[in-house]
Amino acid sequence: MPELPEVETVRRGLSRLIIGKVVERETHDTPKGFPNSTSDVVEFLLGASIIDVRRRAKVLMIDLSSGYSLLIHLKMTGQLVFVGETRFGAGHPNDSLVNELPDKSTRVTLTFTDGTALFFNDQRKFGWVRLMPTIEIPNIDFMQKVGPEPLSDSFTAKEFMQRFTRRAKTNIKAALLDQSVVAGVGNIYADESLWGAKIHPSRLVGTITEQEFTTLFHELREVMNLAVEKGGSSNHTYVNAEGKKGSYMDFARVFRREGLPCPRCGTTIEKLRVAGRGTHICPFCQQL
């Protein structure tokens, strides 16, 4: 799925495209993707207008005038694509990137009163959308447990390091991917930031020095800031709210670059398995 930079890119796009729109209709395929009752949909979604689009970690929140919000997790292959009237215009520049929607991966469709629509597409069906009172969002398990936003101005290297003490006996990659340690890190930016800090992903947290944590903190923020600036990373499924791909992968240093030279020392990049995930390293820069 989209990691923090991709979800943030979607949030920014939606913020520009859907705030002020009024929901006219909602359809979904199975209850798994949208578990709310029809009566809740009628009462709190239909006829409500969108007043804000927020993000916490990898979760999007679309706030409605009814006092309810849509919480959305894209997981591995979720997309939120807005389709305006121009979408199907002949020769429209996005026509080649997003085909006519809905398609077979569409799980939820929101239609607005002006005829535009928002599609939640999700090839692997891991993602979800649910409706809940806005005021209750901070009380849900996830919000209680999730770690700090890594790009927040108030987040410090010291706090970053302290968050890991609980996970001293696992490897640094598993700990980075743990959303309760730090929010929003996923497979791409874990590999990219560990390469930046010259830390092998299998190193146990307890063996990482204060200096290494400080470097990792700065590398993680740098790589995520760059990714947000580039509109995120795209594999074949990720697109932003306008159906466009992000360009961070053009700047990736190790992720999916096995067999290519390390941009720092020229050693061939290797792919291994750490924390059950495909993991990319420079075997010279990142030693155990």
For 275: left if phi > 0, alpha if psi spans -120 to 50, otherwise beta; the answer is left
Query: By rule CB under 7 A, what string of x and - marks binding of each residue 179-208 to DNA?
Result: x------xxx----------------x---
Tokens of 21: 């729109």
| Alpha helix ranges (H) inside the chain | 4-18, 38-44, 141-145, 157-163, 172-177, 187-196, 210-229
CB of 68 to DNA, least distance (A): 19
Of 54, 125, 221, 277, which one is the catalytic site residue?
A: 277
Dihedral sign, CA of 271, 274, 224, 157?
A: negative
259 conformational bin, left if phi > 0, alpha if psi -120 to 50, beta if neither: left
Question: Which is nearer to DNA, 25 or 273 (by Cβ)?
Answer: 273
* Among positions 27, 162, 235, 287, the unique one binding DNA when judged by CB under 7 A: 235
- Torsion from C-alpha of 131, 136, 139, 142, nearest 10 degrees: 20
Q: How many Cβ atoms from other residues are within 10 Å of residue 5's Cβ?
A: 26
CA 115 to chain CA centroid, nearest Å:
28
Rule CB under 7 A: choose which of 36, 66, 105, 286 binds DNA.
105
Catalytic residue among 55, 58, 173, 203: 58
Report how far residue 258's alpha carbon sits from residue 193's, in angstroms, rounded to the nearest whole number.
16
Contact between 215 and DNA by CB under 7 A: the answer reads no
Binding marks (x or -) toward DNA, 131..150, rule CB under 7 A? -----------x--------
Told to check if 242 binds DNA by CB under 7 A, we report: no
Contact string (CB under 7 A) for DNA, positions 47-86, x = contact: ----------xx--------------x-xx----------
Binding site for DNA (CB under 7 A): 1-3, 6, 32, 57-58, 73, 75-76, 104-105, 123-126, 142, 166-171, 174-175, 177, 179, 186-188, 205, 232-238, 246, 256, 273, 275-278
